[in-house]
């Protein structure tokens, strides 16, 4: 049968091999079209996802902070509370147990958002205060106990058959550091708070940190322990030759209102060797101006400035902390402290910071009552020594 006759009979007019080849070609063409359609749909889906991601992406906060991080519910709610007193957002977080533990306070007020809290904490730590060299612990209780073991464990050489001597009963001292409430009361006008370009959180953190840092620095040095931390200078100081636990040992300068290089050296070696490796001098600026003029017998200055702005000056190789709350170098004053403050002084604090908004007490201004709980006291009386400007 001819091809013409085959077509007339309803066939393709092709040989079996050609017929299969044409079918395969058609299938490949159809599959390629199907594949292109799938890729096109995937591309469209990807573009929609990118657009959606752009819409929901949280931009970084600008320096003037009018925009609040939409991805942080607590931060936005806290910002609304500071500006207008709207606490619905904060109270709404009560449905989330995890958020409630960091956002709400049953005693009144609201905890600040983590960013502001870290700002305050970093300023407190970087301020010229005993905090920067002391031991700082976070507690959830109303006080913090430090146990000090005065027992020297017995040790000796033993043989296979000799009896071993029992060690003595441990002797502990318990130092209780109660936490006290530290507060600050910055204020701002409502008109200023209504300005979206005003960075309320940074402003509040700076004001709180300034008040807290100054109050803490004074208390850690001279506080009497009544509704505030007890400073290390509030404890009785005695001549280091008759020092006993519970007192701070001092070394006299040998003159009522002057100091020599020998007196500084005596102070260094009055401190036990195990404390000297991590020891720091503490004095105010006026005393530092006096000390940096001292020279040894070879005419070399005892004082050496830091190699960079962030590095502290050194006296006899030990770092110097300038704490303005230390007394001036005057007759009878314990004007210089030297010790391992990480062992000798402990600061206990609650990690949270609370803020209560008060728009009524100082109209047209809004008061922000910020509180935190902190305590401090000497935890090792052997770790700190004083230089007294006196003959004995």
CATH of residue 379: 3.30.2320
Band (358; pLDDT cuts 50, 70, 90): confident
Q: Is residue 298 part of a domain?
A: yes
pLDDT at 186 over 90: no
Q: Is 187 domain-assigned?
A: no
Give a yes or no: residue 34 inside a domain: no
User: Does residue 314 surpass a pLDDT of 50?
Assistant: yes
Please write the tens of the pLDDT for every residue from 212-224. Answer: 888 999 999 999 9
Choice between 242 and 85, residue whose per-residue pLDDT is larger: 242
Question: Of 91 and 30, which is predicted with more confidence?
Answer: 30
Residue 271 lies in a domain: yes
- Helices (H) then strands (E): counts for the chain: 12, 17
Give the whole-angstrom CA distance, residue 342 versus residue 325.
Answer: 19
Q: How many structural domains is the chain composed of?
A: 1
Q: Is residue 215 part of a domain?
A: no
Could you read off the pLDDT of 102-149 as tens digits, one per residue? 333 444 455 555 556 666 666 565 557 899 899 999 998 889 998 877
Residue 193 lies in a domain: no
Which domain does 293 fall in, by range?
232-347+375-388
DSSP category for residue 86: -
Among 9-18, 22-31, 360-369, top mean pLDDT goes to 360-369
225 burial level (CB within 10 Å; 0-12, 13-18, 19+): middle
Evaluate whether residue 308 is within a structural domain: yes
Task: Select the highest-mean-pLDDT range: 155-164, 197-206, 232-241.
Answer: 232-241
162: which 2 tokens?
């000799």
- Cα dihedral: 149, 150, 156, 162 (round 10): -80
Per-residue pLDDT tens digits for 25-56 = 776 677 677 677 777 776 776 666 555 554 44
Q: Is residue 336 part of a domain?
A: yes
Which tokens go with 188? 């701002």
Token pair 């017929």 is found at: 19
Q: Using the 8-state DSSP alphabet, how is residue 62 labeled?
A: P
């Amino acid at each position: 049968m001819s091809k013409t006759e085959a077509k007339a009979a309803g066939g393709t007019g092709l040989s079996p091999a050609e017929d299969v080849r044409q079918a395969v070609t058609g299938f490949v063409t159809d599959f390629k079209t199907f594949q292109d359609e799938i890729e096109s749909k995937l591309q469209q889906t990807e573009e929609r996802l990118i657009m959606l991601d752009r819409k929901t992406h949280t931009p970084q906060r600008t320096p003037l902070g009018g925009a609040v991080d939409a991805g942080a519910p607590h931060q936005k709610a806290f910002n609304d509370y500071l500006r207008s007193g709207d606490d619905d957002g904060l109270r709404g977080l009560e449905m989330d147990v995890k958020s409630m533990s960091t956002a709400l306070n049953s005693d009144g007020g609201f905890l600040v958002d983590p960013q502001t809290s870290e700002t305050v904490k970093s300023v407190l730590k970087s301020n010229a205060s005993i905090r920067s060299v002391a031991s700082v612990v976070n507690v959830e209780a109303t006080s913090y106990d430090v146990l000090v073991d005065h027992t020297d464990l017995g040790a000796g050489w033993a043989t296979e058959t000799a009896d071993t001597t029992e060690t003595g009963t441990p002797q502990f001292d318990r130092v209780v550091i109660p936490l006290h409430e530290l507060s600050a009361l910055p204020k701002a006008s409502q008109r200023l708070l209504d300005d979206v370009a005003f960075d309320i959180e940074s402003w509040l953190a700076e004001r709180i940190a300034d008040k807290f840092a100054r109050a803490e620095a004074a208390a850690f040095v001279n506080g009497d322990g009544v509704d505030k931390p007890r400073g290390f200078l509030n404890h009785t100081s005695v001549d280091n030759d008759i020092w006993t636990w519970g007192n701070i040992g001092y070394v006299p300068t040998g003159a009522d209102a002057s100091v020599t290089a020998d007196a500084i050296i005596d102070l260094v070696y009055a401190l036990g060797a195990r404390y000297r490796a991590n020891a720091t001098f503490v004095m105010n600026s006026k005393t530092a101006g006096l000390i940096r003029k001292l020279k040894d017998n070879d005419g070399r200055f005892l004082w050496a400035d830091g190699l960079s702005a962030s590095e502290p000056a050194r006296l006899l190789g030990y770092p110097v902390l300038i704490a303005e709350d230390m007394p001036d170098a005057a007759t009878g004053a314990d004007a210089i402290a030297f010790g391992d403050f990480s062992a000798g002084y402990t600061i206990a604090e609650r990690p949270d910071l609370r803020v209560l908004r008060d728009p009524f007490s100082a109209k047209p201004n809004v008061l922000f009552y910020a509180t935190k709980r902190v305590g401090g006291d000497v935890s090792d009386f052997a770790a700190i020594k004083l230089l007294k400007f006196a003959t004995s």
